[in-house]
Amino acid sequence: MRPSTGRRRGISVFSSTEMKLMQSNPIKSEADLDEFEPATGDLELAERQALRRVVGLSTELEDVTEVEYRKLRLERVVLVGVWTTGTVADAENSLQELKLLAETAGSQVLEGVIQRRQKPDPGTYIGSGKARELADIVKSTGADTVIADGELTPGQLRQLEEIVKVKVIDRTALILDIFAQHARSREGRAQVELAQLNYLLPRLRGWGGNLSRQVGGRAAGGVGIGGRGPGETKIELDRRRIRTRIAKLNRQLAEMSKARDTMRARRQAREVPAVAIAGYTNAGKSSLLNRLTGAGVLVEDALFATLDPTVRRSRTPDGRLFTLADTVGFVRHLPHQLVEAFRSTLEEVADADLILHVVDGSHPDPESQLTAVREVFAEIEADKVPEIVVINKADAADPLVIQRIQNREKHSVVVSARSGEGIGELMAIIERDLPRLDHEIRAVVPYGRGDLVSRVHSEGEVLKVEHGDEGTLVHARVPSGLLAELERYAEPAETLR
């Protein structure tokens, strides 16, 4: 209760501060009392403008030297999934993956529950009764977030939040959050922002008085008082701004993709074969790229650790040049918004001559990883590209699991990117499966044209080299551009097309 000064039924009421002042300076007369008592309006105004400190609410350490030892506040989450098809092991593996995603995003997982249903409830995803049970679990564990193992509609999201009384997000929002944390390049950040805005647009919600803005007078058609009507609502304004930002991001990404298209066209003009490394997230794609090329790409035991594509050059055992491209990892139910936003990046897979499909041999369910990745291949029209299944992490995998995958995938090889096991066999298979250059030629290149011999080694496939009196005898398969320059030194009868 605020202290007040006034007269009620002949009794004077004073604040504690005024009592101390009166004890130190006794009031001699009623006139002195009237001068001391402030006006009521001034007192209320002073109280409104004052800051009041509530004792006991501070979370700061008393000893500031211990600040480095303070624990960060992580979101405490409860996971919930709907099991519609497959076995109970499939449902549990899906929830285990959601747990890894949540931990990658920086959360602390407290509990996970699965419900068996023919299809998700259109209202609350798990049904109103189970939603109330979920609210009890949230309350008992002290969680502040619920993560659903699926993409929720705006209605499901709102109704589930109203029941559990904490923040609710779905699998798509979680993956987008991880991508936002890990994107480093300008193009990657733009792609993630575009995906987030496309996800957010249909899920905007208004709050309280922000839902409407009134207009009147001339803005209401000149009818004046009584003719006021609702103007542009806050939510409509937000939607318009998001659409404007989406259009701007699309223009920026179109400009950024021109540089990637130019580099890809240059490689194709030189007829350099392209190999794309693709696969499930955390399957070891970046480790394999480092092992094959020494690229030095970030390697971390985490989901979606690297998002920005990396292209490096490598050579087959017989010296033939090709490019290796590391791409973004895939996951079950990869959000459609991400596939659309990263389409220019994923074109590295669709335009490749060969795909190294990396699968984690130590994963509990590697077959589901293969299926999920191939679904994305079909979506980006890369399912017709020749494929080598690379069973990685052989040093940590169960031999029975590896044998099971090999029985299913006939065109496969077992490797360990960490130890180097099987890398030689993989390179031999790449050399065998890469498309051959169409133009085979024998030419005697003068010693003064050493640049052509160098290009044969860097751009072509050298079959034989001999040094004679007139120059260097080269027998090789070469691209079209180099063939035109070598033909002047070739013997027409021995030139093979």
User: Could you report the per-residue pLDDT of 272-318, keeping only the tens digit for each?
Assistant: 788 989 888 888 888 888 888 876 655 555 566 566 667 788 888 87
- The tokens of 69 are what? 């030892």
Contact 456, 483 (CB under 8 A): no
Q: Which residue has the higher pLDDT, 203 or 57?
A: 203
439-445/472-478 β-pairing: antiparallel
| For range 232-247, the mean pLDDT | 84
Total Cβ atoms within 10 A of residue 497: 7
Domains and CATH numbers, the chain: 6-49 (no CATH), 75-177 (3.40.50.11060), 270-433 (3.40.50.300), 439-494 (3.30.70)
Query: What average pLDDT does range 71-80 have in this prediction?
Result: 74
Percentage of the chain beyond pLDDT 70 is 72
CA 43 to chain centre: 55
Query: Which sign does the torsion angle of CA 23, 25, 31, 33 carry?
Result: negative
Q: Which neighbouring-strand residues pair with 389?
A: 357, 412
Residue 24 has pLDDT above 80, yes or no: no
**Amino acid symbol at 354:** L
**Tokens 């070739």 -> residue:** 490
- Judge whether residue 8 has pLDDT over 50: no
Residues 164-196: tens digit of each pLDDT: 999 999 998 998 888 888 777 788 888 889 988
In DSSP notation, 273-342 reads -EEEEEEBTTSSHHHHHHHHH-------SSTT---S-EEEEEE-TT--EEEEEE---B-TT--HHHHHHT
Which sign does the torsion angle of CA 68, 70, 74, 78 carry?
positive
Q: What is the pLDDT of residues 105-154, one digit of tens each?
A: 888 899 999 988 889 999 999 998 999 999 999 999 999 899 999 889 98
Most confident of 142-146, 216-220, 296-300, 319-323: 142-146
